[in-house]
């Protein structure tokens, strides 16, 4: 497929010079995010995140399967990030680019390896039956900062998701359909979010948050920090690029923590709004009362 | 099995008998493969890595999508640094097959490539390619650091102009991820066992400066622990740079003594006795 | 399972970076499509005399498998018919259809990791693709409208259901998908299940009534139809309205 068009020399100069004077093309502050929107779908587990012109959709799903032989007490949790030509014609189906591999590794480290989802709670019958939870990340529009948007979408989708209720009686596992019993949320331990800094200048002295695609194309280095609101780092990735002063990186982490707290509040607020919206009919209220045991 | 933290608190010694700020034994050689443009062999404790550099040379046939696409190719203005990492099946205790498409290996490749291309003067070699192949023979923690160090040495051997050494090492902390205990000691150069048990990070700096080229943390850790770990890591990188520099200078001296190379003008400041 | 919306909804030009895009939802299905093209073709996709229409269908959850490939091949051949492919030799028109939402069968726990699509989603895919192609200003011979019809046999009598829900698809004897061009030509007819010629004819008439209703402005050409069939949505009028709304909002400044 065609390569992504590179910014022209004058375009590059313009962006870089503006950044040197602490100006951005869209008039934002250096540490300001684009207008951030989060919405949930009609179904459980669908989250749609928009950062300016970047748009990512995440969908969580679950099914019952057999656990891995070496981990009989754990459920299965996967995050699938396949970039389609929808995001950019440069992405090809079934041929992962570097962007895609790094994105999937980062999400994996941030959400999966940090233990955000309690995989032990997904186990139904040890060694025989467990839930396999899967999140599919669909990038609908790529205008920079895919990582932060995708991470927010994944976390929001998983927190919004409900898996079918189950019961075990006499060794017989019953999975109830949505019509029989209301679905139950996942056992969620903490919500990590990614904050990506982009660095500009010969020594990476200008640090910028939420870079657009054009800015990403001309940056000299980037650093993604994943944190949760309790101030735990889940992952840091500055994978090469121009060396940046260590003290500056520490400052970036501190600022990232404040941003993560904002993300955390946003997701909490939107989830609460969504619950209220769903509860309106009274039908749900009736169902949940029925299910109380 | 787990790092006995109570024992550490008593004697302040780690499982392998080191103190908190000690590196493991580093053994390095350059020009190990006569046929290659540049080569090196590096041991950091029991982590053993071999590196071969070919190039800068004309780029071969385009490999499948790795460099192309979304990331944005260099467009031929700079030399492309292509890294391939082979992790031997016998390198770790539990024999594991590492496929070519293993995402972790691909991530390591792109990290080493990006770290070195920032230090190498790639703009001197337009439309060309520098091939770095790394072979992991034995793993005992600090793998990424060893890979970066070995690649730096091999690039020096290949005579590719670069700003300074990219030296890397790991740092950890004796605290567990949840505890925010101020008393936790930072640790330098983690081995495999410590890497499994404790939070840690890999740092690579450019030469003697405090400028960080690579910073990778893959475990949960309190944000307050970061500063200490980073400081120890940067300090370790400086030690590592000295070690790498010594290896290069010793090899250079020997080559002059053996008459393999002429004593050049630029070597005047080196005391060859 | 009557919660499915009966009136289709569409938005054109929803993705800022693609050449053309559209979001369409109807009968519980929500699909977003992007169109890029004509763009440079790779050697293997290059045709000397015409453009290659590249269709990718991506399920909301799970990886695409044979069913998606099947849908892609059907869509590819239908869309190649209406796009003026001869105008762009050696190029590609890339269409990506991302399914965002599909109605769930509340009575069955579906396997999700192996995504399985059914025929009922075809009309939504075609409709979204056509809207996105229009938004990308890809020259076309005609537009197309599509619908799905299921036939259910209940105690000897046959009933046709327009835009069946997954539950209805499951219980139906046969499911038919029809697409018609704006010149009232049959573009696509796919059928699944067990049916007689009479049933197919009935389904065809029902679908045609939905897809090819003449312009409401021409008075007097009221079609003679049963009450049952007039209940369906007027797809052609809807398509026109969606585009008119978009054009009107684009030209608002004038």
Q: Are A158 and A188 in contact (CB under 8 A)?
A: yes
In this predicted structure, what is the pLDDT of residue C75? 93
How confident is the prediction for chain C on average, in pLDDT?
82
- Which of the residues A46, A85, A181 would you substitute to probe the C interface, choosing the one with the greatest number of C C-beta atoms within 10 Å? A85
Distance from CA of A139 to the nearest CA of B (A): 13
- Residue of chain C with shortest Cα separation from A50: C15
Give the tens place of pLDDT for each residue, C2-48.
Answer: 444 467 888 988 888 889 999 999 888 899 999 998 888 888 888 88
* CB proximity B218 to A under 8 Å: yes
- Worst-scoring range by mean pLDDT, A276-285, B108-117, B175-184? B175-184
Model confidence band, residue B162 (pLDDT cutoffs 50, 70, 90): very high
Alpha-carbon distance A230 to nearest alpha carbon in chain C (angstroms): 31
Largest CA distance in chain C: 60
Q: Which fold is adopted by the domain B24-257?
A: Ribosomal Protein S5; domain 2 (3.30.230)
Tokens of A293: 């045991």
Task: Report the alpha-carbon distance of residue C40 to residue C33 in Å, rounded.
Answer: 20
Question: For C76-105, what is each residue's pLDDT tens digit?
Answer: 999 999 999 999 999 999 999 998 887 776
Q: Which residues in chain A (96-115) have CB-CB distances under 8 A to chain C?
A: none
Distance from C-alpha of B96 to C-alpha of B117, rounded to nearest angstrom: 30
pLDDT at C113: 39
Residue in chain B nearest A231 by alpha carbon: B223
Rounded mean pLDDT, A39-64: 90
The contacts of residue A270 (CB under 8 Å, 6+ apart) are: A38, A39, A40, A156
pLDDT value of position B93: 83
Q: Is the pLDDT of residue C225 over 60?
A: no
Q: What secondary structure, in 3-state letters, does B230-245 show?
A: HHHHHHHHHHHHHHHH
Q: Check contact C-A (3+ Cβ pairs < 8 Å).
A: yes
- pLDDT of residue B259 exceeding 60: yes
For the residues of B158-209, what is the DSSP string, one character each? TT--BSS-EEEEEEEESS-SS---TTPPEEES--HHHHHHS-EEEEEEETTS
Give the pLDDT of residue C9: 87
* Lowest mean per-residue pLDDT among B90-99, B185-194, B215-224: B90-99
Phi and psi at A126, nearest 5°, equal -50, 125
pLDDT over 60 (residue B126): yes
How far apart CA C148 and CA C154 sit, in angstroms, is: 19
What DSSP state is assigned to residue C92?
E
**Cβ contact A155:A116 at 8 Å:** yes
Helix or strand holding residue C68 (H, E):
helix C66-82
The pLDDT tens digits for B63-84 are 544 443 333 344 568 899 999 9
Judging contact as 3 or more Cβ pairs under 8 Å, the answer for C and B is: no
Tokens matching residue C207:
């679908």
Chain A nearest-CA distance from C198, in A, is 36
Label residue A287 by pLDDT band (50, 70, 90): low
Which is more confident, A1 or B204?
B204
- pLDDT tens digit sequence for C46-56: 888 999 999 99
Instruction: Report CB contact under 8 Å: A84, C106.
Output: no
Identify the bridge partners of residue A166 per DSSP, sorted by sequence position. Answer: A175
pTM of the full predicted structure? 0.88
pLDDT of C117 reads 55
Q: What pLDDT sits at residue A283?
A: 54
Residue C127 has pLDDT above 70, yes or no: yes
CA distance B82 to B114: 10
- With a CB-CB cutoff of 8 Å, which residues 146-205 of chain B face chain A? 177-178, 201, 205
Q: Is-contact A229 A191, C-beta < 8 A?
A: yes
Distance separating alpha carbons of residues C74 and C60, to the nearest angstrom:
20
Asked if the Cβ–Cβ distance from A97 to B65 is below 8 Å, we say yes
Closest to A90 (Cα-Cα) out of A216, A174, A6: A6
Q: Classify residue A95 by its DSSP letter.
A: B
- The closest CB to that of B65, out of A92, A102, A240, belongs to A92
Give the bridge partners for B183, in sequence order.
none
Enter the DSSP assignment of B36: S
Cβ contacts (< 8 Å) between C62 and chain A: which residues?
A: 61, 134, 136
Closest residue by Cα to residue C93 from C75, C105, C106, C107: C75
Q: What is the ipTM of this complex?
A: 0.88
Residue B239 pLDDT:
94
The closest of C182, C176, C179 to C162, measured between CA atoms, is: C176
Q: Which residues pair with C190 in a beta bridge?
A: C177
The two tokens of residue A258 are 């404040």
**CB–CB of A237 and B216 under 8 A?**
yes
Q: Which of A116, A143, A148, A138 is nearest to A223 (CA)?
A: A148
Using DSSP, state whether C160 is helix, strand or coil: strand
Chains that touch A (3 or more CB pairs under 8 A): B, C
* Nearest beta carbon to residue C42 from set A1, A62, A164: A1
How far apart CA B12 and CA B5 sit, in angstroms, is 9
Can you tell me the distance from the alpha carbon of C171 to that of C164, in angstroms, rounded to the nearest whole number?
10
Mean pLDDT of all residues in B103-122:
93
Residue B267 confidence (pLDDT): 55
């Amino acid at each position: 497929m065609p390569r992504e068009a590179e910014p022209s020399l004058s375009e590059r100069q313009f962006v870089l010079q503006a950044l040197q004077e602490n100006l951005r093309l869209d008039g934002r502050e250096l540490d300001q995010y684009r207008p951030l929107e989060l919405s949930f779908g009609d179904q459980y587990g669908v989250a749609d995140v928009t950062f300016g012109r970047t748009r990512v959709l995440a969908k969580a799903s679950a099914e019952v399967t057999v656990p891995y032989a070496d981990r009989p007490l754990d459920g299965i949790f996967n995050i699938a990030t396949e970039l389609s030509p929808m995001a950019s014609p440069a992405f090809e189906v079934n041929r992962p680019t570097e962007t895609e591999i790094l994105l999937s590794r980062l999400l994996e480290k941030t959400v999966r390896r940090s233990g955000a989802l309690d995989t032990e709670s997904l186990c139904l019958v040890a060694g025989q039956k467990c839930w396999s939870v899967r999140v599919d990340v669909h990038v609908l529009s790529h205008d920079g900062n895919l990582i932060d948007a995708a991470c927010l979408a994944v976390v929001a989708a998983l927190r919004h998701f409900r898996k079918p209720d189950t019961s075990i009686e006499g060794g017989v596992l019953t999975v109830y359909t949505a019509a029989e019993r209301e679905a139950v949320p996942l056992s969620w331990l903490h919500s990590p979010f990614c904050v990506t800094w982009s660095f500009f200048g010969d020594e990476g002295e200008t640090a910028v948050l939420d870079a657009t695609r054009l800015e990403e194309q001309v940056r000299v280095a980037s650093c993604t920090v994943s944190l949760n609101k309790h101030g735990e780092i889940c992952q840091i990735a500055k994978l090469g690029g121009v060396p940046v002063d260590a003290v500056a990186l520490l400052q970036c982490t501190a600022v990232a923590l404040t941003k993560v707290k904002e993300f955390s509040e946003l997701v909490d607020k939107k989830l609460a709004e969504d619950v209220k919206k769903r509860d309106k009919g009274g039908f749900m209220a009736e169902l949940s009362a029925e299910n109380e045991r | 099995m787990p790092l006995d933290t109570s024992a550490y608190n008593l004697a302040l010694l780690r499982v392998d008998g080191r103190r908190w700020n000690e590196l493991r034994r580093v053994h390095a050689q350059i020009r190990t493969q006569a046929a290659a443009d540049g080569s090196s062999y590096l041991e950091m404790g029991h982590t053993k890595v071999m590196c071969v550099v070919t190039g800068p040379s004309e780029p071969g046939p385009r490999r499948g999508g790795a460099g192309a696409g979304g990331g944005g190719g260099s467009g031929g203005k700079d030399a492309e640094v292509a890294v391939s990492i082979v992790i031997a099946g016998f390198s770790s205790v539990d024999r594991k097959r590492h496929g070519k498409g293993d995402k972790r290996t691909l991530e390591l490749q792109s990290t080493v490539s990006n770290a070195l291309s920032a230090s190498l003067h790639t703009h001197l070699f337009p439309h060309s390619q520098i091939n770095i192949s790394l072979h992991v023979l034995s793993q005992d923690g600090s793998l990424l650091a060893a890979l970066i160090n070995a690649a730096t040495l091999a690039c020096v051997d290949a005579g590719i102009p670069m700003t300074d050494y990219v030296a890397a090492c790991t740092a950890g902390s004796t605290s567990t991820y949840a505890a925010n205990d101020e008393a936790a000691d930072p640790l330098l150069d983690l081995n495999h066992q410590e890497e499994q048990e404790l939070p840690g990070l890999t740092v690579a700096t450019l030469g003697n400066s405090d400028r960080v080229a690579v910073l990778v943390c893959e475990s949960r850790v309190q944000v307050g622990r970061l500063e200490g770990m980073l400081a120890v890591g940067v300090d370790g990188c400086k030690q590592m740079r000295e070690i790498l520099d010594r290896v290069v200078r010793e090899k250079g001296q020997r080559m002059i003594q053996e008459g393999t190379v002429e004593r050049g003008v630029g070597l005047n400041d080196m005391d060859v006795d | 399972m009557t919660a499915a919306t009966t009136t289709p909804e569409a938005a054109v030009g929803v993705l800022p970076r693609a050449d053309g895009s559209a979001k369409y939802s109807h009968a519980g299905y929500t699909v977003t499509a992007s169109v890029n093209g004509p763009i440079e073709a790779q050697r293997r996709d290059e045709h000397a005399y015409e453009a290659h229409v590249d269709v990718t269908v991506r399920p909301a959850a799970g990886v695409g498998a044979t069913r998606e490939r099947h849908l892609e091949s059907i869509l590819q051949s239908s869309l190649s018919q209406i796009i003026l492919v001869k105008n762009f030799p050696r190029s590609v028109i890339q269409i990506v259809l991302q399914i965002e939402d599909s109605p769930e069968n509340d009575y069955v726990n579906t396997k999700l990791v192996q995504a399985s699509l059914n025929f009922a989603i075809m009309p939504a895919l075609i409709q979204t693709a056509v809207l996105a192609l229009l938004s990308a200003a890809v020259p076309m011979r005609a537009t197309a409208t599509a619908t799905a019809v299921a036939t259910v046999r209940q105690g000897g009598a046959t009933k046709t259901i327009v835009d069946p829900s997954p539950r209805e698809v499951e219980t139906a004897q046969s499911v038919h998908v029809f697409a018609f061009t704006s010149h009232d030509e049959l573009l696509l007819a796919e059928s699944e299940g067990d049916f007689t010629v009479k049933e197919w004819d009935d389904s065809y008439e029902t679908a045609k009534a939905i897809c090819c209703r003449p312009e409401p402005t021409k008075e007097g050409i009221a079609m003679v139809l049963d009450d049952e069939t007039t209940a369906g949505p007027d797809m052609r009028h809807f398509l026109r309205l969606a585009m008119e709304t978009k054009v009107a909002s684009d030209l608002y400044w004038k």
